[in-house]
Chain A
């Protein structure tokens, strides 16, 4: 009788464990795996920067297409663009690397200032002060004449 009892208890536990696992594995994959996205973001035109003066940050607003879950949306995005020489340009992603607030160019101090936790960055994105853990992230850039093309945002090491 005790044999039978313990056999039943083992079967209950084993079947329960198998079923929990069979539900949990696909559920975890479903929630955590990256979607098999079909489209890769390419280069986006961000406008003509021929008129932007050298070494003066300018906020450039452009439209880009983004695969967002089940939607592909065409949305406005921005970048801080600095022409460092007639043929060179850098484009900074417009979020502070601390907690993602939008920062602005403080003309008087010649630095990028984040209003949230007072992080400050130099014109080329280096941390000057505050809690920001790394330099500002940069877009990949390509110039076709004076036309600026932006690629993916790269995190600075």
Chain B
């Protein structure tokens, strides 16, 4: 029974554990003479899963899985840690590589007819592994908690909510009844790191077991004597793995994965888009409107999944040669063309993103040096949709405010805002209905616009301009100074982050006396959203 390996340590191991024999049996398995380069994809898929596991575990060692801190920790990984951007790059691009490899694996199995009797079970388990791979993409998308993550997941959960009958249950399972929040985040994280990996490992083990049980599928008409898995096929698998790894490594080292601004539920200018491998679904949605929408979002994708699972029974003919299976090959061609067409159309129809990659910015950004009155004005400028007529390159409805610096004074601008016709006869600009303080803000921001800071307006996060409006409305500047504007009755707020943390600021707003005995600052009650906005901004006012 016990095999001999010619070395006492190996013999001892074999006798006590049987491990050397297990490895030998694995490597010396009989495979068809026709096996070769076309069958490397399964091993490559397994390898890309291992890469995701290793990089995922490493990322988790510096990642805080709560909405309050996730973004900060990802930024820390990207900008503070040696090799951090590399790890995130490998995990991010590795996800795409895994999708590609898994799909190629499936296409190969389909074309060679290997899903047919007796290998139906292997195929079905494989389809479930493909679905798990997609679920990783869907759940992992939220975890950086930037705008891209937040808005992409808003759309995904809304689609889940629209499923007739099951929508409510899906929403509850994802804890998304009241929008995307802390509980939703926890569910996505738990699914991504605790539910999916063990499920994947179990299914992979079962998949490999089934491959071994039925033997690697021979090419049609292969009656030659069998050969061994090692070393020839292992060599081919390794070369394929090496090529894929080289591509992934190069991608991770050269293409930086952006981290956009902190998720901002009030940012109404953000255009969400899914990862490239889901773009075909995103595009399909556009063909269905109103009540028919669920056809594109739920019904068609589910028909496709069921058809994939049932493929071995929908096509029971024993024919395996591609030449004899015109219809099946036609389906592959139509699917490939359809997928490519939809993806290209989606890429073409989405405007280029204006999102900022925060990991490329070191130190404070220009907008952080705006005074509260200017920052509040920027919010009003957006709210009034001023760029619609005065944006870059516009001449038709109004002058391009970015083309040259302002020559008017604040007073002239305010007079013009109040009554455009009086200053510019024939102007189509509607009068702006605002308080004097707001008009002041708007004028000071317009005065800031110049050709040099075209990007300034785009770069101001919505929470900051909202916060500045709250600051202005409550006349905080009557006691505090920000960026050299305001009074000195209270402490200047520049560099607040170095002195206080978020909890302190929130507590201090609620009860200033408790934390600063003797202060003359009255308590302020803000809605939770406003509190978030104002603390976010206060913590980002640069050191003087």
Residue B84 CB within 8 A of the other chain = yes
Report whether B80 and A35 are in contact in the complex, using a CB–CB cutoff of 8 Å.
yes
Q: Contacts A69-B62, A70-B73, A74-B504 hold; do A27 and B87 have CB atoms under 8 A apart?
A: yes
**Chain A CB within 10 Å, residue with most, of B61, B62, B80:** B80
Q: Contacts A26-B86, A30-B58, A74-B499 hold; do A35 and B81 have CB atoms under 8 A apart?
A: yes
- Of all chain B residues, which has the CB nearest A37? B80
Residue B242 CB within 8 A of the other chain = yes
Report whether B231 and A30 are in contact in the complex, using a CB–CB cutoff of 8 Å.
no
A78 CB, nearest partner CB in chain B, Å: 18
Q: A157 — which chain B residues lie within 8 A by C-beta?
A: none
Residue B384 CB within 8 A of the other chain = no
Residue B215 CB within 8 A of the other chain = no
Q: Contacts A19-B245, A65-B499 hold; do A30 and B82 have CB atoms under 8 A apart?
A: yes
Of A6-14, A85-93, A114-122, A139-147, the segment with at least 4 beta carbons within 8 Å of chain B is: A6-14
Report whether A15 and B73 are in contact in the complex, using a CB–CB cutoff of 8 Å.
no
Q: A37 — which chain B residues lie within 8 A by C-beta?
A: 80
Contact with A along B234-254 (1 / 0, CB 8 A): 110011011001000100000
Report whether A30 and B232 are in contact in the complex, using a CB–CB cutoff of 8 Å.
no
Residue B64 CB within 8 A of the other chain = yes
**Chain A CB within 10 Å, residue with most, of B79, B87, B231, B234:** B231
A65 CB, nearest partner CB in chain B, Å: 6
Q: Contacts A12-B234, A15-B238, A19-B245 hold; do A29 and B82 have CB atoms under 8 A apart?
A: yes
- The contact size tier of chain B is 35 or more
Q: B73 — which chain A residues lie within 8 A by C-beta?
A: 69-70
Q: B238 — which chain A residues lie within 8 A by C-beta?
A: 11-12, 15-16
Residue B39 CB within 8 A of the other chain = no
A116 CB, nearest partner CB in chain B, Å: 30
Q: Which of B488-526 contact A (CB under 8 A)?
A: 497-501, 504
Q: B501 — which chain A residues lie within 8 A by C-beta?
A: 71-74
- The contact size tier of chain A is 20 to 34
Q: B58 — which chain A residues lie within 8 A by C-beta?
A: 27, 30-31
B179 CB, nearest partner CB in chain A, Å: 25
Q: A23 — which chain B residues lie within 8 A by C-beta?
A: 51, 54
Q: Contacts A19-B245, A22-B249, A30-B87 hold; do A5 and B76 have CB atoms under 8 A apart?
A: no
Q: B231 — which chain A residues lie within 8 A by C-beta?
A: 5, 8-9, 12
> A22 is contacted by which of B61, B80, B245, B504 (Cβ under 8 Å)?
B245
A74 CB, nearest partner CB in chain B, Å: 5
**A23 to B239 Cα, complex, angstroms:** 17
Q: Tell me the interface secondary structure of chain A in the complex.
A: helix
B405 CB, nearest partner CB in chain A, Å: 34
- Of all chain B residues, which has the CB nearest A30? B83
**A37 to B80 Cα, complex, angstroms:** 7
Q: Which of B62-96 contact A (CB under 8 A)?
A: 62, 64, 69, 72-73, 75-76, 79-84, 86-87
Q: A27 — which chain B residues lie within 8 A by C-beta?
A: 54, 58, 83, 87
Q: Contacts A5-B231, A11-B235, A11-B238 hold; do A70 and B69 have CB atoms under 8 A apart?
A: yes
Q: B249 — which chain A residues lie within 8 A by C-beta?
A: 22
- Of all chain A residues, which has the CB nearest B539? A72
Residue A39 CB within 8 A of the other chain = yes
**A26 to B86 Cα, complex, angstroms:** 7
**A27 to B249 Cα, complex, angstroms:** 13
**A79 to B513 Cα, complex, angstroms:** 27
- Of all chain A residues, which has the CB nearest B233? A8
A11 CB, nearest partner CB in chain B, Å: 6
Q: Contacts A35-B80, A65-B499 hold; do A15 and B54 have CB atoms under 8 A apart?
A: no
**A22 to B253 Cα, complex, angstroms:** 11
Q: B54 — which chain A residues lie within 8 A by C-beta?
A: 23, 27
Residue A109 CB within 8 A of the other chain = no
Q: B499 — which chain A residues lie within 8 A by C-beta?
A: 65, 74
Q: B79 — which chain A residues lie within 8 A by C-beta?
A: 36
A23 CB, nearest partner CB in chain B, Å: 7
**A38 to B80 Cα, complex, angstroms:** 8
B379 CB, nearest partner CB in chain A, Å: 27
A86 CB, nearest partner CB in chain B, Å: 30
**A71 to B64 Cα, complex, angstroms:** 11
- Of all chain B residues, which has the CB nearest A9? B231
Contact with A along B146-172 (1 / 0, CB 8 A): 000000000000000000000000000
Q: A26 — which chain B residues lie within 8 A by C-beta?
A: 83, 86-87
> B497 is contacted by which of A5, A19, A38, A72 (Cβ under 8 Å)?
A72
Q: B64 — which chain A residues lie within 8 A by C-beta?
A: 70
Contact with B along A55-83 (1 / 0, CB 8 A): 00000000001000111111000000000
Q: Contacts A8-B232, A11-B239 hold; do A30 and B81 have CB atoms under 8 A apart?
A: yes
Q: B241 — which chain A residues lie within 8 A by C-beta?
A: 15, 19
A38 CB, nearest partner CB in chain B, Å: 8
Report whether B72 and A70 are in contact in the complex, using a CB–CB cutoff of 8 Å.
yes
Report whether A74 and B80 are in contact in the complex, using a CB–CB cutoff of 8 Å.
no
- Of all chain A residues, which has the CB nearest B59? A30
A57 CB, nearest partner CB in chain B, Å: 27
> B80 is contacted by which of A5, A11, A36 (Cβ under 8 Å)?
A36
Contact with A along B37-65 (1 / 0, CB 8 A): 00000000000000100100010011010
Interfacial residues, chain B to chain A (CB-CB below 8 A)? 51, 54, 58, 61-62, 64, 69, 72-73, 75-76, 79-84, 86-87, 231-232, 234-235, 238-239, 241-242, 245, 249, 497-501, 504
Q: A27-B87, A30-B81 are in contact. List 13 more A-B contacts (CB 8 A).
A: A9-B235, A16-B238, A19-B242, A22-B249, A23-B51, A30-B83, A30-B86, A30-B87, A35-B80, A36-B80, A39-B498, A69-B62, A70-B62
3 closest A-B pairs by beta carbon, nearest first, are: A70-B76, A30-B83, A33-B82
What would 17 A/B residue contacts be, using CB atoms closer than 8 Å? A15-B238, A19-B245, A26-B83, A30-B62, A30-B82, A31-B61, A33-B81, A33-B82, A33-B83, A36-B80, A65-B498, A65-B499, A69-B73, A70-B72, A72-B501, A73-B501, A74-B499
